[in-house]
Amino acid sequence: MIAIIDYGVGNLFSLTSSFGAIGEEVVITSDADVIRNADKLILPGVGAFGDASQKLYESGLDKIIVEEVKKGKPLLGVCLGMQMLFDKSYEYGEHEGLGLVGGKVVYIDLPQQYKIPHIGWNCLRFEKDSPILKYINENDFVYFVHSYHAIDCEESLVATTDYGIPITAIVQKDNVYGCQFHPEKSGDVGLKILKAFAEIN
Amino acid sequence: MITKRIIPCLDVKDGKVVKGVNFDNLKDVNSPIELGKYYSSHGADELVFYDITASSDGRKLFTEVLTEVARQVFIPLTVGGGINTIEDFDRVLKCGADKVSVNSGAIKNPDLVRYGALKYGSQCVVLSVDVKRVGGKYTVFAKGGRENTGIDALEWIKRCVSNGAGEVVVNSIDTDGVKKGFDIPLLKEVCDIVNVPVIASGGAGSIEDFITLFREVPTIDAGLAASIFHFGEVSIRDLKNKLKGQNINVR
């Protein structure tokens, strides 16, 4: 069973529906025991890093997540949930992340002709192989909505997308995975990514 | 690079998708759930789901229909109609919407855009604006295009974007339902004054109208239409193939 961590942030409905569509059982939970008993964890998130990370830390669930990850449990962070895997974010100030993946989150600094947020469908360029890519192909499209992105994370970089500069799209460090885009909103390609994650041992 | 988006719009009344010509003569087309599912699996990049009568008679969206659409649709879903308060944001986001579109509610209470963006982020707040030329000036209309507010449309759009609207849907009442193409002059002006994604709405009658849109207004991000998709006049797959043939980047 996959636990979607509910700390008061994020579009849990869509993630739940997506796993339902691929026949995976999920539970939305803020209960430490349920998280401990789950096979895999999803860390969702939308909104601002500071608010979301504060809510996560106040819930105390950050410690449970880190404990379970250290035991080898697969974790997938989605969008802001992915950004929270890193060491630090510089979104409106400086905030501590979970430190599960090396790197930091900064504003996407681009020439004026590029609109921010980076909203829309963009294609993936694979940087290295990963179990999460099992069912998808290079140049498949996924849906992004974000103004900040992860940098200094070369050793965990699985896929990027091009928005004038390479944007970190997928990372993996051991059993910790992250998608900057929304797999639950990326049509069949997104469902295939969730399926690949659900099948990771 | 990021692609141009093709967005079918589902105008909903009493749980059914409708499409009016110049907002009158509403006509039942199909089930929002079936249409949403169909589009989600046939190349639509996003869906916009409006309760078009909500802002005039205060009726709330039928949340059951919305929830069912969201349960079966795995592409981004924008919901609008009757969004007047932050509680309305909460209500539709809980039903599975990704973005919330504000129109008359923002005109009544311009702080709504700011509050929505502060609570949910700019990416969640879509400004939808119905624009009509009045005395040669682009003017904002409220209540589903029925009420002239006298507000300058370009000033209004700029103000809402600076308050945190993350996207703008520009619906031209002058071209809506006429099927002779998008309102290119209006869209060019809007794209020149804001640096957030702009979605063209109103007037699509053929594949050529989309080609003209993306050629004439290169900074436009998306084209939205309803009836030509719902009635099967244009399939999204054909449209995208033609756009690709014109070197317009689509998914």
* CATH number of the domain bearing residue A54: 3.40.50.880
Interface-testing mutation among B46, B74, B119, B214, with chain A (most A C-beta atoms within 10 A): B74
Among candidate residues B243, B238, B177, the one with its CA nearest the CA of residue B4: B243
Which tokens sit at B231?
A: 């009635």
Q: What is the complex's ipTM, to 2 decimals?
A: 0.89
Q: Whole-angstrom Cα distance, residue A197 to residue B230? A: 35
Bridge partners (DSSP) listed for residue B148: B141
Determine contact, residues A127/A108, Cβ cutoff 8 Å: no
Among candidate residues B233, A182, B206, the one with its CA nearest the CA of residue B223: B206
Q: Please check the confidence at residue A171 and state whether its pLDDT lies above 90.
A: yes
Q: By a Cβ cutoff of 8 Å, what residues of chain A touch chain B? A: 11, 13-14, 17-18, 20-21, 46-48, 112, 115-122, 141, 143-147, 162-163, 182, 184-188, 190-191
Indicate the average pLDDT of chain B: 88
Q: By a Cβ cutoff of 8 Å, what residues of chain B touch chain A? A: 1-3, 5, 40-41, 45, 67, 70-72, 74-76, 93-96, 98, 119-124, 166-167, 195-197, 221-222, 251
Per-residue pLDDT of A18-52, as tens digits, reads 999 999 999 999 999 999 999 999 999 877 888 88
- The whole domain housing A157 covers 2-198
Per-residue pLDDT of B76-110, as tens digits, reads 999 988 899 999 898 888 888 899 999 999 999 99
For residues A147-156, average pLDDT: 96
Indicate the average pLDDT of chain A: 95
Q: Whole-angstrom Cα distance, residue B117 to residue B63? A: 22
What percent of chain A is predicted at pLDDT more than 90?
87
Q: Whole-angstrom Cα distance, residue B28 to residue B5? A: 26
CATH superfamily of B5-245: Aldolase class I (3.20.20.70)
What's the pLDDT band for B27 if we cut at 50, 70, 90? very low
Identity of residue A55: K
Q: Give the N- to C-terminal CA distance of chain A in Å, as an integer.
A: 12
Q: Which of B5, B98, B166 is facing A117, going by the closest CB pair?
A: B166
Q: Is the pTM of this model over 0.90?
A: yes
Asked if A163 lies within 8 A of B1 by C-beta distance, the reply is yes
Per-residue pLDDT of B34-72, as tens digits, reads 888 888 888 999 999 887 765 444 345 567 888 888 888
Q: Whole-angstrom Cα distance, residue B224 to residue B203? A: 9
Specify the pLDDT at position A51: 86
For residues B178-198, average pLDDT: 96
Per-residue pLDDT of A58-80, as tens digits, reads 999 999 999 999 999 999 999 99
Determine contact, residues A130/A99, Cβ cutoff 8 Å: no
Domain ranges in chain B? 5-245
Per-residue pLDDT of B113-127, as tens digits, reads 999 998 888 889 999
Which tokens sit at B152?
A: 């300058």
Secondary structure (H, E, C), B177-238: CCCCCCCHHHHHHHHHHCCCCEEEECCCCCHHHHHHHHHHCCCCCEEEECHHHHCCCCCHHH
Q: Per the structure, how many domains does chain A have?
A: 1
The catalytic residues of A are 79, 182, 184
The secondary structure element, H or E, covering residue B117 is: helix B111-120
Asked if A188 lies within 8 A of B96 by C-beta distance, the reply is no
Per-residue pLDDT of A104-120, as tens digits, reads 999 998 887 888 889 99
